[in-house]
Amino acid sequence: QKEVEQDPGPLSVPEGAIVSLNCTYSNSAFQYFMWYRQYSRKGPELLMYTYSSGNKEDGRFTAQVDKSSKYISLFIRDSQPSDSATYLCATLFGNEKLTFGTGTRLTIIP
Amino acid sequence: NAGVTQTPKFRILKIGQSMTLQCTQDMNHNYMYWYRQDPGMGLKLIYYSVGAGITDKGEVPNGYNVSRSTTEDFPLRLELAAPSQTSVYFCASSYQPSREQFFGPGTRLTVL
């Protein structure tokens, strides 16, 4: 079993829709949860960073962590064509190494 | 700040050739990382460094070597290139261990 599982998609939604991206993880020791966004032929960039359970909001983006079910979500409201990218979830325990999901490719259709 | 820069952007190697992928950061980060990204496989850690003179293996180090003589530079060396090393290579750096990592633009390597 992979430590972090992520549906690779691709996922296509119309502009303005709410997007839900999800990951599951197996190691209950993970404490930090991150979402990276990667545009085509670019390096990943950190989008959201949460510690432990709960929600974190930043503009149109909300990151949600449910440690009881080992489930991580990223919600994008009022999706824009500029949100078209691959989204990678990542988890971390202490000072260990980041464990990345395989990424979900998202396309927002104008 | 330029952030993390990588050279070259693209390279085609023949089997058995060697090359060095360059990585430089200007954020004075102690922690630096090399990843490879294959389609559908996510990012795999090759090597990392916690400071000048200190390096350690990641998940997939075979066929690669690194050095860290300065805080700014973290080159990745490929010896005896093999087709299995065809990938996109990303260098990253962070202020704290494994926390917010800043990635370079990547090097696309093809081994034929």
DSSP string, A55-74: EEEETTEEEEEETTTTEEEE
In a 3-state reduction of DSSP, which class is residue A7?
coil
What SS3 state is found at A3?
Answer: coil
Nearest CA of chain B to the CA of A98: how many Å?
A: 6
Q: Which residue has the tokens 């065809």?
A: B86
Give the separation between CA B19 and CA B9, rounded to whole angstroms.
13
Long-range contacts: A39-42, Cβ < 8 Å, 24+? A39/A85, A39/A86, A40/A85, A40/A86, A41/B106, A42/B105, A42/B106
Instruction: Please report, in tens digits, the pLDDT of each residue of chain B (112 residues total).
Output: 789 999 999 999 999 999 999 999 999 999 999 999 998 788 999 999 999 999 999 999 999 999 999 999 999 999 899 999 999 999 999 998 877 899 999 999 999 9
Chain A positions with Cβ closer than 8 Å to B: 4, 6, 8, 32, 34, 41-46, 49, 88, 92, 95-98, 100-103
SS3 at position A52: coil
What are the chain A neighbours of B43 within 8 Å (beta carbons)?
44, 88, 98, 100
Using a 10 angstrom Cβ sphere, with 0-12 exposed, 13-18 middle and 19 or more buried, the burial of residue B87 is buried
**pLDDT score, position A1:** 63
